[in-house]
Structure formats: C-alpha cells, structure tokens
Chain A
Amino acid sequence: MDMTRKPAIARGTILGPGFRALLGKEVLRFWKVALQTIVAPVVTTLLYLLIFSHVLDEHVRVYDGRVAYTAFLVPGLIMMSMLQNAFANSSSSLIQSKMMRNLIFILLPPITSLEIYLAYVLGAVLRGLAVGFGVWLVTLPFVPWHALVPDHPLWNVAFAVFGSSAMGTLGLIAGIWSEKFDHLAVFQNFFIMPLTFLSGVFYSIHSLPVFWQTVSHLNPFFYMIDGFRYGFFGAADVSPWLSLAILLLFNLVLSAVALRLLATGYKLRS
C-alpha cells in the first residue's frame, strides 16, 4: 500500500472535497425521500390555497383592488413553504446526526467550519427551491396565467435564494443548539411558525390596524414574503430594495452566529 504523506487537500483551498461530499450527502438525504421532503409540503400548501381561496377570493382584493386574493396568496404560500422547508432541512439533518451520534464522521475529517456551514445551507436552499418550484407548478391551474408569471423574476430568484439561505442557517443554528427533537419542536412551534404566519402570507399588512403594521415591520419574515411578492406583481407593501437589504443583513447576522458556533465547536466538540 502506498504511504502517501501528502495531504489530499492543498493548502489554501477554500472549498475542498469535503464540502462537495457533504453537500452531496445533504442533497441525497432529502432527494431519496422526496415524497416526504418535497411532495408532502407541496400538497399541504396546495390545501391552504384551496381552502383560503375558496373562502376569500370573491370578497378580498389586494393592492387597491388590482390583484385578486388567490393571485396575491400564491407567492406568499410559495415563499412560506420554501422558508419552512429550508429550515426543516438543515435542522432535521443535524439533529438526526446528533441523536444517532454519527456526526462524528464529519467531525473527524479535515472539513472546515465554512465548508460545513455552506454544505448545510446550500442543501437547505436546494430543498427550499425544489419545494417552491413544486408549489408554483401545482398552483398554476388556480390562478390566471398572467398573475403567476413573474414581472421581475430576478427579484423572485434573489428572495427565494436568500430567504432559503437565511432559514437554512437558522436551521443549522437550531440544530446545533438542540439536544433532542423536542428542543427543535420548541424552536419551530414558538418561533418559526408564528413569525411566518404573521408575516403577511395571508394578507397585505396595509389591511391591518396601524399598531399591527408596526409590529409586522419588526418581523424579518415579512420582508422575505413582501419582496418575493414584488417579483410577481411589481407591487408590494414596502420597497423591494429595503426588503432585500434587510434580508441580506439577516443573512449576515445569522451566518456570523452559525460560523462562530461551528468554529468554537459549541455543543458539537467538547
């Protein structure tokens, strides 16, 4: 057997082979069980659409009556499903590895904190995009064609990617912090769910009393949904530039926290 003493990873490599391997594993992990990780959330979201649009489409119009309720609702639902699934992907992957105690197999190889962070977050983004695309496809028959072809697709892509990456990062942090599934459920039920539901998925915040409008402006999820919606209609509650700036800031803060936790080995290395 040849005894190569040469490291397989060249010095100065920023994203080495360990990153690609880990990203591949993260994608395979949800792709192999796509029925649960992609199809199921698409179906759930479709049910929301059917129920809410059936009840409200006749009565509610948004943006000064320019947009029918169902058309307004769809982008919010697409974004919400992307955000929730991006979070679910990184958080559940990590907590499962921790519970099964096989995380050690990625802690032993020469993989950097940055590589671990990017692999988990990119995996989460891809899952988010897959679910979002699926929701978009199945909602097409329910909305007039012109309402579901984005006016400004670049905004959609930007908000989809950065929204998912923020949530993938949050999922990574939650997964690191949680010691069991219960902890993760607390995070999900008392933080993620309320904030996404109260972010203007189901209504324009301009229809709210002033006090609740102000509260909504403190919710980072509001800007993700609002900016994504702008891509479809060219109309939104606030400027898409403001939403994008806040989303990027949110990403920056979360990734700084995640990278710090990984670098110090918080709850992962003793």
Chain B
Amino acid sequence: MTSSPPAVEFERVSKTFPAASGAVRALDDVSFTVEQGEFFALLGPNGAGKTTLISVLAGLARPTSGTARVLGFDVTRDYREARSRLGVVPQELVFDPFFTVRETLELQARYYGVREAGPWIDELLTQLDLTHKARANMRALSGGMKRRVMVGQALVHKPPVIVLDEPTAGVDVELRQNLWAFMKRLNGEGHTIILTTHYLEEAESLCTRVAMLKAGRLVALDSTERLLRGVGGVSVEISAERLPEALAESATLQASGAFGFTLPDHAALEGVLAAFRSAGVSVRELRVGGADLEQAFLRLTARDAGTA
C-alpha cells in the first residue's frame, strides 16, 4: 500500500442479481479511481447501477467479481477498516421510529466507536438545521428533515470518504443549498465527497470530476470541464434572415425562429459565422449557451446506445 492510497478504487467490479426473468447485470466490469480530496459525481439514468456500485463500496452488496477499496482497504477482506473510513447516505429514506433525532445520531456514533460525540453532534445538528428538532421523534419529521438526519448519521464518525446517493431528492431548494455549502466545507477540510444525483446542474457546479454509468457500464470518466468541452460542446442560437446553404445540414430551427447549432467548442463558432458572412447574410443576434452536463450526458448515452 502506498503512503497515500486513492480514496476509492473500483477494480473490474461486476454484479449480477439473480431474477425470475433471467439475471440482471447491474454492474459490468466497472473500474475507476477517486483520489483523496476530490468532489466527484457519479451520474447515470435510473437503473444505471449507481446505487449498486455504492452498495458494493459499503459492503451492502457483494460484487460477483472484482474488488473495491476505501483508502486502500478491501471492502470485503478489511471491511472493518474500510467501513470505519466511509460514510454513506443511502438513497432510500429510512429511519428508526423508536428514537429521537439526537438519539439516532448518538446511537450511530456508538456503532462506530466514537467517544464523546456530543460536540460534533451539536455541530451536525446546527449545520443540518435540525437543532430545534433534536428532541423530536423521527416519526414526526418531514421527508426532507429525515433525509438530513441520514446525512448526519453518515457523518457522525467524521469519515474521510463521504458518499451521498441522491441526497437532494425530496429536499427543498434552500436546504439543498445549505447541504452543498456544508459538503463544500467538508471537502475543503480534506474529505473526499462522492455524490450521485439526477440534478446535473448540481454535479456541474460542485464536482471536479464525473463518472457516467449506463446499463451497468462506465461510459465516461473525465474532469467536468473536459467533459463539457469535449463532449457537450457549445450551443449557439443565431437569428438571421435565412440560413446559408452550407449550414443546412447542421442547424435546427428553434421555437424562437432562430437557428440552433451544437458545436464541439467555441472555436467552431468562427466557421459558422464565416458561412453567414460568405453567404451575405447578416447576423441579427447571437446567443451562446454554455455546454452542460445534460447535453454531454444525452450525447454519451445516445452514442452508447448506437453502438450497442
């Protein structure tokens, strides 16, 4: 083991679930690494295998083949070391109706052997805006509050690696902002953060690197920036009298009446404008939309479907 192992490693992880209608291959030979200190997004449509991959990491599911490691510790062989370094917020909203919010957090801290968890639990309650609900029974909380308690439960032992599986589902916008501010702070303090989300804009604004899964396979793994530049391209809308002949193939007519182009990068805009100039058509208005992960994602998954 090197002195500074990656936060998370997946090595050729496959997972097949037995099912009545033939086996489901939820993960198919997935390999990638997340370095310490990264803010990392795991994206993919429903059923892509994100939760299964997290379950393998957390020891909730055993891989059919392959291995996963947390800070160098094998999640099967060295599971105690691996799990004590990992904090997972499960996707499913679950709670124990037997306890209050504070008791829930205290009990979870004891499971991890945290001594004198009090001050940190106080801080978690503050950060998650739950102080006023500390003595409320879990049953009495709204869905968003329960979700925040689950975030607290994942953080009671100050794990160096934090995984959030769609943590903002059902959480309102303001709280989502608070949660991300908190995660940014933890990331700034050295925690590695991995999240899965349906809200691509979240991944876009928070994460430095992205992995995309589709049907159990890794279809992209890159820095968010490069992914946007390389795959997503730039969307451009041009309002003009007419479309130059040379561009007939590449343009789409927008609802606004403008012509839309999806370009690989900003440099390609030069060629489009040149075509307008040489056709003698003057450009009335030009709007350049930033590329976003949504487009990148659609393109990647579409491309993948084409080759499948």
Chain A residues with CB under 8 Å of chain B are 1-5, 7-9, 16-18, 20-22, 24-25, 29, 32, 97, 100-102, 104-112, 265, 269-270
| Given A9-B113, A106-B111, CB of A270 within 8 Å of CB of B55 | yes
Residue from A21, A24, A110, A270 in contact with B80 in the complex, judged by beta carbons closer than 8 Å: A110
> Does B107 contact A107, Cβ atoms closer than 8 Å?
no
> Does A5 contact B60, Cβ atoms closer than 8 Å?
no
Collect the chain A residues with CB atoms within 8 Å of residue B55's CB: 270
Collect the chain B residues with CB atoms within 8 Å of residue A2's CB: 158
> Does A29 contact B60, Cβ atoms closer than 8 Å?
no
> Does B112 contact A105, Cβ atoms closer than 8 Å?
no
Given contacts A112-B80, A270-B62, 16 further A-B pairs with CB under 8 A are: A1-B189, A3-B190, A5-B71, A7-B84, A8-B115, A8-B157, A16-B113, A21-B110, A22-B111, A104-B92, A105-B94, A107-B58, A109-B111, A110-B80, A265-B62, A270-B61
> Does A100 contact B84, Cβ atoms closer than 8 Å?
no
12 A-B pairs within 8 Å (CB atoms) are namely A1-B189, A3-B189, A3-B190, A5-B85, A8-B112, A20-B110, A21-B111, A24-B110, A104-B90, A108-B58, A269-B59, A270-B60
Collect the chain B residues with CB atoms within 8 Å of residue A8's CB: 84, 112-115, 157
- For the complex of A and B, the 3 pairs showing the least CB-CB separation, nearest first, are A21-B110, A17-B113, A8-B113
Rounded to whole angstroms, the CA-CA distance of A106 and B153 in the bound complex is: 11
> Does A4 contact B96, Cβ atoms closer than 8 Å?
no
Residue from B17, B82, B112 in contact with A18 in the complex, judged by beta carbons closer than 8 Å: B112
Can you name the residue of chain B whose Cβ is closest to the Cβ of A101?
B94
Collect the chain B residues with CB atoms within 8 Å of residue A269's CB: 59-62
Rounded to whole angstroms, the CA-CA distance of A32 and B83 in the bound complex is: 30
| Given A3-B158, A5-B160, A17-B113, CB of A110 within 8 Å of CB of B79 | yes
Give, as a whole number of angstroms, the nearest-CB distance from A202 to chain B.
36
> Does A1 contact B158, Cβ atoms closer than 8 Å?
yes
Rounded to whole angstroms, the CA-CA distance of A239 and B14 in the bound complex is: 56
Chain B 124-147 interface mask (CB, 8 Å, partner A; 1/0) = 000000000000000000000000
Which residues in window 52-88 of B have CB below 8 A to A?
A: 55, 58-62, 71, 79-86, 88
Can you name the residue of chain A whose Cβ is closest to the Cβ of B18?
A270
Rounded to whole angstroms, the CA-CA distance of A7 and B82 in the bound complex is: 9
Collect the chain A residues with CB atoms within 8 Å of residue B186's CB: 1
Q: Is B239 an interface residue (CB 8 A)?
A: no
Q: Is B289 an interface residue (CB 8 A)?
A: no
Rounded to whole angstroms, the CA-CA distance of A16 and B189 in the bound complex is: 29
Collect the chain B residues with CB atoms within 8 Å of residue A109's CB: 83-84, 108, 111-112, 157
Collect the chain A residues with CB atoms within 8 Å of residue B32's CB: none
By DSSP majority rule, is chain B's interface helix, strand, loop, or mixed?
loop
Give, as a whole number of angstroms, the nearest-CB distance from B268 to chain A.
44
By DSSP majority rule, is chain A's interface helix, strand, loop, or mixed?
loop
Collect the chain A residues with CB atoms within 8 Å of residue B112's CB: 8, 17-18, 109-110
Collect the chain A residues with CB atoms within 8 Å of residue B98's CB: 29, 32
Collect the chain A residues with CB atoms within 8 Å of residue B82's CB: 110
Residue from A3, A24, A105, A110 in contact with B191 in the complex, judged by beta carbons closer than 8 Å: A3
> Does B60 contact A108, Cβ atoms closer than 8 Å?
yes
Give, as a whole number of angstroms, the nearest-CB distance from A70 to chain B.
39
> Does A9 contact B80, Cβ atoms closer than 8 Å?
yes
> Does A17 contact B81, Cβ atoms closer than 8 Å?
no
Which residues in window 93-110 of B have CB below 8 A to A?
A: 94-98, 107-108, 110
Rounded to whole angstroms, the CA-CA distance of A269 and B63 in the bound complex is: 11
> Does B113 contact A107, Cβ atoms closer than 8 Å?
no
Rounded to whole angstroms, the CA-CA distance of A248 and B162 in the bound complex is: 44
Give, as a whole number of angstroms, the nearest-CB distance from B72 to chain A.
11
Looking at B71, B82, B94, the one whose CB has the most chain A CB atoms below 10 A away is B94
Rounded to whole angstroms, the CA-CA distance of A109 and B159 in the bound complex is: 11
Rounded to whole angstroms, the CA-CA distance of A17 and B113 in the bound complex is: 5
> Does B158 contact A105, Cβ atoms closer than 8 Å?
no
Collect the chain A residues with CB atoms within 8 Å of residue B83's CB: 108-110
Give, as a whole number of angstroms, the nearest-CB distance from B182 to chain A.
11
Give, as a whole number of angstroms, the nearest-CB distance from B157 to chain A.
7
Rounded to whole angstroms, the CA-CA distance of A32 and B100 in the bound complex is: 13
Collect the chain B residues with CB atoms within 8 Å of residue A22's CB: 111
Give, as a whole number of angstroms, the nearest-CB distance from B134 to chain A.
18
> Does A100 contact B160, Cβ atoms closer than 8 Å?
no
Give, as a whole number of angstroms, the nearest-CB distance from B216 to chain A.
15
> Does A17 contact B110, Cβ atoms closer than 8 Å?
yes
Rounded to whole angstroms, the CA-CA distance of A112 and B113 in the bound complex is: 13
Rounded to whole angstroms, the CA-CA distance of A269 and B61 in the bound complex is: 5
Collect the chain A residues with CB atoms within 8 Å of residue B115's CB: 8
Can you name the residue of chain A whose Cβ is closest to the Cβ of B120?
A1
> Does B189 contact A102, Cβ atoms closer than 8 Å?
no
> Does B60 contact A107, Cβ atoms closer than 8 Å?
yes
> Does B62 contact A108, Cβ atoms closer than 8 Å?
no
Rounded to whole angstroms, the CA-CA distance of A270 and B107 in the bound complex is: 25
| Given A1-B189, A9-B80, A18-B111, CB of A100 within 8 Å of CB of B94 | yes
